[in-house]
A and B are shown apart, each in its own frame.
Chain A
Amino acid sequence: MGHTSLEKIIALQKKTPHIRNLCILAHVDHGKTTLADCLVASNGIISSRLAGKLRYLDSREDEQIRGITMKSSAISLHYTTGGNEYLINLIDSPGHVDFSSEVSTAVRLCDGAIVVVDAVEGVCPQTQVVLRQAWLENIRPVLVINKIDRLIVELKLTSQEAYTHLQKILEQVNAVTGSLFTSKVLEERAEKDAEAQSSCTENGSGDQVYDWSAGLEETDDSDLYFSPDRGNVVFASAIDGWGFSIHQFAEMYSQKMGIRSSVLLKTLWGDFYLNAKAKKIMKGAQSKGKKPLFVQLVLDNIWSMYDAVVTRRDKEKVEKMVTSLGLKVMSRDLRHSDPKVLLSAICSQWLPVSQAVLSMVCEKLPSPAEISAERVEKLMSVGARRFDSLPEQTQELKKAFLDCSADETAPVIVFVSKMFAVDSKALPQNKQRPLTQEEIAQRREQARQRHAERQAANQSAESPGSADTGGASTTVAPASGTEALSVKTAVEEDNKEHFVAFARVYSGVLRKGQKVFVLGPKYDPSLALRLPEGCSAADVLPSVPHMACCTVDSLYLLMGRELEELDEVPTGNVLGIGGMEEFILKSATISTSPSCPPFTPLNFEATPIVRVAVEPKHPSEMPKLVRGMRLLNQADPCAEVFAKIEISASKPIIPFRETVIRPPKVDMVNEDMGKQQKVAVIHQVKEEQTKYPEGVQVDSTGLVTLTTPNKMATVGVRAIPLPEEVTRLLEDNVELIRTMEQFSLFVWEDKTLDINQKILENIQEFKVKLESNLQGRKWRGAVERIWAFGPRRCGPNILLNSVEGYRRPSVWQCLEREKETEKAEIRDFDNSIASGFQLATLSGPMCEELLMGVCFSVETWDMKLSAPLAQQDSIDEDSRAAEPNIDNQNESSDTHETNTSSASSNRSRSGAEAAGSSVDCYGPFSGQLIAAMKEACRYAFQAKPQRLMAAMYTCEIMATAEVLGRVYAVLSKREGRVLQEEMKEGTDMFIIKAVLPVAESFGFADEIRKRTSGLASPQLVFSHWEVISSDPFWVPTTEEEYLHFGEKADSSNQALKYMNAVRRRKGLYVEEKIVEHAEKQRTLSKNK
């Protein structure tokens, strides 16, 4: 078959029933691309000699180097059988788990799939995955059992053994399909049962007849399974270029042996044998120890050929076979020293794999026109929405789908499953083409003109600035900087990669220059129905969310690495659309009708798990990085790019898996999974009291009293640990707390904020829950006395008002709006106390991280204010929150430094103020109160035993039994804790659930993969905060402890380790010696 011309393909594209859209799916290294090569070779695009070596569809450089497919790519092929011409749009997909998102995008566009299984390895994990994906997308699979030559050459099986082996593989594949089918039937059954039950209860009838059959028997599943006698299985060796289905042999032998081919077709696979005497085909080959028909007629022939060609290299026999088969083998091949060459020369003529596969595809797989109604409904109904609930006009579109007509009137519906980057050089517009006569003439004319201009310019002046800018490379020292700049931008423009949308037309004809709607995945068709009837994309429309109008720039036929430009693409074809990168992020639906629903999002087998923070090596290159990230986001269907900050601030964190190739041109270094520790209090008595500075009195129960430097106010604060449930409750209800806070802020200003009923109910519920959790004597009435939450007014810490004789409006004001209780007066400086609390919770004393689960209870609050002072203060009470800034010399909003220096500066200033002018002293005073409150909180906190809290991941690891030990080793090395371990039924895989501190998780996935040779892969999900039980300030005290842990005990103290790491990272003081042993320093000699 010669090279198929573009015209022919275009002609074929219009014949919808003769189009087959299919993809090749398999586990990694089962021979997808090799098979695709064979199919491509049949069209004369590549030499059949190179088929299997070239890997034509692996067009990227890294794909060729690594020898694996990474991106799915499409090619259109032409195939003729029985007088019918077919157009086959073939999509090759990657088999590696890391690229499984590519498989999802490929499967969506196809009607059928070729599932390739390695004859030696059988069904592998990824095979199951692709079968499931094909099942979920409702596309019909056919099976190719590949690499049969390995059974002969490598495993050296006899034909009989090979037969049983193949049977087993087939059974495995069918078992997977069967289980998918059963699960679906059972699901439906369950639904039906639920309905039946509800109806039963309505009827109130007592007869309960339980149906045992579970519906499996009723539903026919026979057409799902793979079986050679159904013609949906091909046995092949793509590397040697041969493949066959039972059909071919059945026809061959029916002529030779005079048995009807239909009989042979049925008996060639299965437990049948040929009774030579009776000239009959009998059943029960196995029990009688006879060779099954398949072995005798099919496999034996192949085996003897391999024997002759490869193993024994018997020239005579080979020649005999060749002539008997009626083949012509070139003498060059016969003489070739490598038997493989001869083998493939013979086989590719005798049993060409492309013939076998393509004929099977054309017969067994549906054309785009035969799309099932079920699949259409599934595609059109997004998420949980039922198809019936879609607007009427949308439902009408279903007909268009089913018709799949290429009429002018039919609405255009196109689905874009992914965007892929193409170098602009590869685009057909920019490609070098043999020039036509006129073009050459035109160019010549241009060149002549330019030459003349240049000469003229040279004559007039010798200025280099006017040198031609036509050829960007020849700019001679541009006079003006702007010119250089423009050239530069032009070059950059050229280097820019173009995104081509990988799409398929489901209905209508897509034309170049056509105006279409681009519908994002979240688009709701019902919105569009409000638009005036009968509008088209050409009209100017009010903007609808997730909908855009655009013109189709260019259409491409995808031919592997090449793109051919097209003017129109009729229904049922796979195509590339250019110029869409502005409108489409990853996937989209393109239609001329606004009532078209967006297609269901792709089923991804793997969801993004790993989050990686990326930052540029040179901070000034941040915009470039962002651009790179955008490209990555668009190009990889699985990567989701977030711009994100952690609690302690970091740049965009991108959750993609670690093996994905990184975007080009940007240096990416540093990953920093936030080492977030929080500080918490736990119920334990600390032995040693830390030193307190002057002015702080601590009583034995942990009540800390602190007086402001000007001796005007005294606050007494006690820290109490909150129960764990309360902490969690507070964490979960941050939004509610924020609303409440807003409300009280508005009340403060005598305004009202309307909160809807639902939120009010939620708040009420939250309050009740809090009350139920805060029980006991200590907490009596605590919920009503809550003063504030912190940090940032909505965190998991509570400030409690336990001051006697001070009633302030509660935080639950919004609930009691109706009651309108007597307005409790707010004391002056109420705000300062709250701000002090907010600042204290924002940075704990251990490592300046947020506090969590701490309740500060203000027990005493005495003020000794002079009257005028108080009056003035009451006027602008509000301005106090900002006071620390005024105090600090640099009017900075610094929150983390609350050192004694600021306190001392306060003291001196306030001393002067108290002595003299009382006019301007209120500012500093409220600031002092904030500082005092903050300090009091900190000391109160330190009076209790403190603990660090570590963020924890839950980690799920799937591993085989052999590597279990190594998984455990890695886990325990990283302070992980195994929660449970169970064996997955039916396999030898173990599922291990563990928790792991976030701080230890960096590089965890890599290490586990390395240690287990890739047999185990973890999935990490943030789960909770956990208190690290060890005390960071613990030192050995008894003799035994001293012996056991040594003097410093830092080898075992995990909390101390974390605390010091954080402190060191932040540049805080770490209590450690610069030099451990004074005597062991390097001695510097005097002479040197």
Chain B
Amino acid sequence: MSIFTPTNQIRLTNVAVVRMKKAGKRFEIACYKNKVMSWRSGAEKDLDEVLQTHTVFVNVSKGQVAKRDDLSSAFGTEDLTEACTQILAKGELQVSDRERQSQLEHMFRDIATIVAEKCVNPETKRPYTVILIERAMKDIHFSVKANKSTKQQALEVIKQLQQSIQIQRAHMRLRFVLPARDGKRLKEKLRPLIKTVENEDFTEQLEMLMVFPVLQVCLIDPGCFRDIDELIRCETKGKGTLEVLSLKDVEEGDEKLE
């Protein structure tokens, strides 16, 4: 029986419990806070830094240790350390404060990086810096949701940012070659999806006994790409072609301000 002294009592507030149900039994292990995620990601390699004790419990808060028979039936071994690692790897846990914080921070940065990569200042056609985007995101009080993908949230945040700063998705530059018959008709359909047409060419071109007269180079919002692709594929029955000239139309390099 252990002596109940201040030094060797482990308060439950400082324990992260990892649970797992296996073979109809509940197993728990007592871990240190903020350590389980590191273990799972492989950054922490020392098991002793993660586990408070190499014991498998049925209930940590009550201090009920799991029975040997249950262990061997559930994990196929009586080795406690082996059981612990299995529970650590697959059990469910409550994410602790700093783990959550660092996870959200990472996601926030990731979102900002994605936004900065995709967007430009419409005036200058130049991208914003990540830091600036981060600040703008803080200004509009954007909060990260841990269960949504960063890319999805990035697309949402672009819409929100548009109300506070001048920002725009960088346009995609596309080129279509459309057959003559469908050209006129398709153009009307495409018009609402296209931002600007840079260049249009109606030259007659004989290729494979087919006429490809309409050549268009244009800028589109990347969000419309799917629709355009769909439209061209369906309407021309695979005869029209679509080529992406650049994924994002962005000004780069030095420009002297005058």
- Where the two chains meet, the residues of A that have a C-beta atom closer than 8 Å to any C-beta of B are 585, 613, 615-620, 622-623, 626, 629-630, 633, 640-645, 649-652, 670, 672, 750, 872, 875-879, 881-882, 885-886, 888, 890-897, 923, 1064-1069, 1071-1075, 1077-1079, 1081, 1083-1086
Contacts and interface: CB of A to CB of B under 8 A. Distances in A.
Top-9 shortest CB links A-B: A1067-B109, A1067-B110, A1078-B32, A649-B127, A882-B244, A893-B247, A641-B257, A878-B243, A619-B136
B256 A650 contact: no
B41 A642 contact: no
A629 B258 CA distance: 10
A1084 B13 contact: yes
B188 interface: no
26 contacts: A617-B135, A623-B123, A633-B258, A642-B255, A643-B124, A643-B255, A643-B257, A649-B116, A650-B127, A651-B129, A652-B257, A879-B243, A882-B243, A890-B155, A894-B117, A894-B118, A1067-B111, A1067-B113, A1067-B150, A1068-B106, A1074-B37, A1074-B38, A1074-B102, A1085-B11, A1085-B13, A1086-B11
Given A626-B257, A1067-B111, A1068-B106, 4 more contacts: A619-B164, A622-B121, A894-B114, A897-B151
A1083 B11 contact: yes
Nearest to B121: A622
Contacts of A645: 126-127, 250-253
Interface in B161-199: 164-166, 170, 172, 177
Contacts of A616: 132
B184 to A, nearest CB: 20
Contacts of A623: 123
Contacts of A1077: 49
Contact of B131 (A670, A882, A1079): A670
Contacts of B250: 645
Interface in B127-158: 127-133, 135-136, 139, 150-152, 155
A210 B60 CA distance: 102
B207 to A, nearest CB: 7
A770 to B, nearest CB: 25
A879 B241 contact: yes
B83 interface: no
B218 interface: no
Nearest to A1068: B110
Contact of A1071 (B13, B43, B129, B150): B43
A886 B226 contact: yes
Contact of A620 (B98, B110, B165): B165
Contacts of B117: 649, 894-896
B165 A619 contact: yes
Contacts of A882: 172, 225, 229, 242-244, 247
Nearest to B251: A645
A878 B242 contact: yes
B107 interface: yes
Given A619-B164, A1074-B34, A1084-B11, A672 B131 contact: yes
Contacts of B114: 894, 896
Contacts of A923: 229
Nearest to A872: B238
Contacts of A897: 151
B12 interface: yes
Contacts of A888: 151
Contact of B139 (A618, A649, A878, A885): A618
Given A670-B131, A672-B131, A1085-B11, A1074 B99 contact: yes
A881 B44 contact: no
B50 interface: yes
Contacts of A641: 256-257
Contacts of B44: 1073
Interface residues of B, number: 82
Contact of B172 (A875, A893, A1064): A893
Contacts of B57: none
A506 B15 CA distance: 86
Contacts of A1072: 43
A930 to B, nearest CB: 12
A890 B151 contact: yes
B153 to A, nearest CB: 11
Contacts of A1068: 106, 110
Given A644-B254, A878-B242, A1077-B49, A1066 B132 contact: no
A866 B50 CA distance: 53
B54 interface: no
A1066 B154 CA distance: 14
A888 B139 CA distance: 29
Interface string B227-248: 0010001000011111110011
B257 A630 contact: yes
A896 B114 CA distance: 9
B15 to A, nearest CB: 10
B217 to A, nearest CB: 12
A672 B44 CA distance: 33
Nearest to B49: A1078
Given A896-B117, A1074-B37, A1066 B110 contact: yes
A893 B222 contact: yes
B16 to A, nearest CB: 10
B226 A881 contact: no
Given A886-B229, A1067-B107, A643 B165 contact: no
B112 A891 contact: no
Given A615-B131, A619-B128, A651-B128, A750 B11 contact: no
B24 interface: no
Contact of A644 (B135, B223, B248, B255): B255
Given A642-B254, A1073-B38, A1075-B34, A1067 B112 contact: yes
A1068 B113 CA distance: 10
A616 B133 CA distance: 11
B14 interface: yes
Contacts of A617: 135
B225 A891 contact: yes
Contacts of A613: 129
B35 interface: yes
Given A875-B239, A891-B222, A893-B222, A1069 B106 contact: yes
Given A750-B207, A895-B247, A1078 B50 contact: yes
B27 interface: no
Given A642-B256, A652-B257, A672 B38 contact: no
A867 to B, nearest CB: 16
A1073 B50 CA distance: 11
Contacts of B12: 1086
Given A878-B242, A879-B229, A886-B229, A1067 B223 contact: no
A897 B32 CA distance: 33
A892 B98 contact: no
B113 A1081 contact: no
B62 to A, nearest CB: 15
Contacts of B243: 878-879, 881-882
Contacts of B133: 619
Counting chain A CB atoms within 10 Å of each CB, which of B34, B102, B256, B257 scores highest? Answer: B257
Contacts of A620: 136, 139, 164-165
B19 interface: no
Nearest to A640: B256
A783 to B, nearest CB: 27
Contact of B222 (A872, A885, A895, A1071): A885
B14 A1084 contact: yes
A622 B167 CA distance: 11
B42 interface: yes
Contact of A879 (B110, B116, B242): B242
A651 B242 contact: no
Contacts of A672: 129, 131
A896 B116 CA distance: 12
Contacts of B131: 615, 670, 672
Counting chain B CB atoms within 10 Å of each CB, which of A613, A622, A879 scores highest? Answer: A879
Interface in B18-42: 32-35, 37-38, 41-42
